[in-house]
């Protein structure tokens, strides 16, 4: 599933690159791919940092056994993960609604680029 997600993200980025080139005459694939790579690296760095900080604040420590964790700690875990993930998920959802690439539109873009 992860591999398919990566391929889909790269494919969509290529399609957006083509669409931008058709509209502006400028090909920015390096910029778009570097932005994609930057966000991936940012998530890879910030996610564990935030997770470790959140676990420390709510009091979930190494060695705690299932059933021995207080309800307040479990509630804190839900809140911390909601605060850490929900805004990014909403942003990703909103950005995905901005992409409306159909197969027909993609063919039109490729034909337009071929004419240029």
d(CA 40, CA 62): 28
Phi, psi values for residue 11, rounded to 5°: -65, -45
Dump the DSSP string for 24-51: HS---HHHHHHHHHHHHHHHHHHHHHHH
The answer to whether 57 and 80 have CB atoms below 8 angstroms apart is yes
**pLDDT tens digits, residue range 72-81?**
999 999 999 9
Output the furthest CA–CA distance in the chain (Å, rounded).
68
Q: Tokens at residue 10, please?
A: 């790269």
Q: What is the pTM of this model?
A: 0.68
Phi, psi values for residue 52, rounded to 5°: -65, -40
**pLDDT tens digits, residue range 71-107?**
999 999 999 999 999 999 999 899 889 888 889 999 9
């Amino acid at each position: 599933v992860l591999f398919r997600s990566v391929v889909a993200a790269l494919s969509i980025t290529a399609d957006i690159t083509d669409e931008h080139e058709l509209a502006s005459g400028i090909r920015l694939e390096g910029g778009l791919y570097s932005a994609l790579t930057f966000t991936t690296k940012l998530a890879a760095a910030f996610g564990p940092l935030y997770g470790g900080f959140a676990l420390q604040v709510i009091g979930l420590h190494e060695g705690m056994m299932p059933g021995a964790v207080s309800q307040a700690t479990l509630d804190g875990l839900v809140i911390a993960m909601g605060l850490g993930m929900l805004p990014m998920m909403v942003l990703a959802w909103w950005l995905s609604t901005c992409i409306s690439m159909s197969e027909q539109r993609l063919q039109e873009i490729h034909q337009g680029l071929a004419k240029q």
